[in-house]
Amino acid sequence: MANGGTDRTIIIGGFGAAGASLALALVRGGVEPGAITVFDANPDSDQAPDKPDARILALNAGSRRYLEALGAWEKLADQAYPMRSIAISDTGLEEGIRPRLLDMEPEAEGGPLAHLVALGRLNHVLRGLCRDAGIEVLKGRYSGRTASSTAIEVRIDAETRRARLLVGADGARSAIRTMAGIPMHGWPYGQTAIVATIRHSLPHHGEGAQHFLPSGPFALLPLDEYRSSIVWSERAEKAAEMLAASPAERKRAISARAAGWRGDILEVEAVSSHPLQLALARRFVGERIALVADAAHVVHPLAGQGLNLGFEDCAMLAELVVERLRAGLDPGMPDLLETYQARRRPAAAAMGYAMEGMNRLFSNDSGPLRVMRDAGVGLVNRMPGLKQRLMKAASGQTGLSPRLFRGEAL
């Protein structure tokens, strides 16, 4: 497909997992690589060997199918660890055992609940495939745009490029969103996620755990047999204290939260921290602009849905743009942008508020609340139909999912 008379058909701001995957999805859909430019303030950050990103992401079945269609999964599969089930508990910090309140075991549905993949590796693979495909990648910072009825002029440092559509994939602090005057709705959680990799004395057999503790959820996500990734959401002040603590003290605190899960914790490595917030863009689109992934929404990581939602945005936008270009039409027109927003914003809002609700419901020490929530969750556990529907929604496999998420070609 040709680029329709402007310098480029599409310019993507942000070369993270979302931006890089979108560029590839467009090419896989038949858009000429020469019709796409991606720019990023730091497009080579995945090459820095001294700065590994310790964040491990749970990617659902829809994301896996999306990455398969892009040719990325085959490069990730040898270090993508399946999580076959997850046990959920709701106890106080001091309680020595964490009884299972709910089990999520979707294996009967035809695959693991999720695969765990290192974000640094994911970025590296997706960026490499974009370069191999001949997509132009510029190093530069977004500095503004001027849109008209026929094109958008995008300023990248001192350079100006023209396109039909600008995609904001520039992360939670998106300058593309801010300069388009699109406000965010949301608030900080007052929690910080401490992420680390632990080595334990017993094998996990592909099982994860989510302990809802009064100060925030504590997740253990299985990597190779004796290693797991933890995402420990903690009140911000306590998290700062833990980050400043000695490694031995931190290991003790992690052991207390894990309460003997898979034996003793032998080692804690690759510790990083992330302040948590809920943020939802009031609009996912502007004049010749579409926002995807963290530029459009940031949700609590307690169900590991952030990038899964982001990939679904990209798959949906790619589907709409490819359809439009095949018909020889302009992909930056308001009707396409409205359709994109109508299909993606409600899904992101529903997930964001569901995570907000769960975090509020569980992150406290109220006795009566615990009785109520445990009765509710216990009911879900005994209703297989409802449980399967919840798991289907979390795995990105509903009838509303984009084609690439359903394993269909563009």
Ligand X SMILES: Cc1cc2nc3c(=O)[nH]c(=O)nc-3n(C[C@H](O)[C@H](O)[C@H](O)COP(=O)(O)OP(=O)(O)OC[C@H]3O[C@@H](n4cnc5c(N)ncnc54)[C@H](O)[C@@H]3O)c2cc1C
- 98 phi and psi, to 5 degrees? -120, 85
Q: Is 286 in the site for ligand X (CB under 6 A)?
A: no
Interacting residue with ligand X among 4, 29, 168, 171 (CB under 6 A): 171
Interacting residue with ligand X among 307, 321, 336, 337 (CB under 6 A): 307
Name the residue among 121, 114, 16, 6 with its Cα closest to residue 63: 114
The count of C-alpha atoms lying within 13 angstroms of the C-alpha of 221, restricted to the half-sphere facing its C-beta, is 29
Nearer to ligand X, 154 or 336 (CB): 154
Shortest CB 410 distance to ligand X, Å: 20
Q: Is 316 in the site for ligand X (CB under 6 A)?
A: no
Q: Is 289 in the site for ligand X (CB under 6 A)?
A: no
Nearer to ligand X, 113 or 337 (CB): 113
- Reduced to 3 states (helix: H, G, I; strand: E, B; else coil), residue 56 is strand
Interacting residue with ligand X among 2, 5, 34, 42 (CB under 6 A): 42
Distance CA 389, CA 295 (A): 28
CB 136 within 8 A of CB 127: no
Residues in the chain: 410
Q: Which stretch binds ligand X (CB under 6 A): 76-84, 168-176, 280-288, 359-367?
A: 168-176
Distance CA 141, CA 1 (A): 28
Q: Which stretch binds ligand X (CB under 6 A): 282-290, 301-309, 331-339, 401-409?
A: 301-309
User: Partners of 87 in the beta sheet?
Assistant: 103, 209
Compute how many residues bind ligand X; rule: CB under 6 A: 34
DSSP letters for 369-400: HHHHHHHHHHHHHT-HHHHHHHHHHHTT-STT
Sheet holding 36-40, edge to edge: 136-139, 36-40, 10-13, 165-168, 289-291, 285-286
Distance CA 62, CA 308 (A): 8
Nearer to ligand X, 115 or 343 (CB): 115
Shortest CB 201 distance to ligand X, Å: 25
Q: Is 217 in the site for ligand X (CB under 6 A)?
A: no
Interacting residue with ligand X among 22, 26, 28, 40 (CB under 6 A): 40
Q: Is 304 in the site for ligand X (CB under 6 A)?
A: yes
Q: Which stretch binds ligand X (CB under 6 A): 15-23, 25-33, 180-188, 355-363?
A: 15-23
Q: Is 27 in the site for ligand X (CB under 6 A)?
A: no
Q: Which residue is nearest to ligand X (CB)?
A: 16
Q: Is 55 in the site for ligand X (CB under 6 A)?
A: yes
DSSP letters for 237-263: HHHHHHHHS-HHHHHHHHHHHHTTTTS
Shortest CB 221 distance to ligand X, Å: 7
CB proximity list for 244: less than 8 A, separation 6 or greater: none
Both tokens assigned to 19: 């931006």
Sheet holding 56-59, edge to edge: 56-59, 114-118, 81-83
Please list every residue from 266 through 285 that binds ligand X, using CB under 6 A: 274
Q: Is 53 in the site for ligand X (CB under 6 A)?
A: no
Distance CA 91, CA 83 (A): 23
Q: Is 210 in the site for ligand X (CB under 6 A)?
A: no
Q: Is 195 in the site for ligand X (CB under 6 A)?
A: yes
Shortest CB 297 distance to ligand X, Å: 9
Shortest CB 293 distance to ligand X, Å: 3
Binding mask 56-95 for ligand X (x = CB under 6 A): -xx-------------------------------------
User: Partners of 217 in the beta sheet?
Assistant: 212
Give the helix, strand, coil percentages of the chain, each rounded to 5. Answer: 40, 30, 30
Distance CA 214, CA 55 (A): 23
Binding mask 120-159 for ligand X (x = CB under 6 A): ---------------------xx-----------------
Interacting residue with ligand X among 6, 308, 395, 397 (CB under 6 A): 308
Q: Is 232 in the site for ligand X (CB under 6 A)?
A: no
Binding site for ligand X (CB under 6 A): 13-19, 39-42, 55, 57-58, 119, 141-142, 169-171, 175, 193, 195, 231, 274, 293-294, 301, 304-308, 310
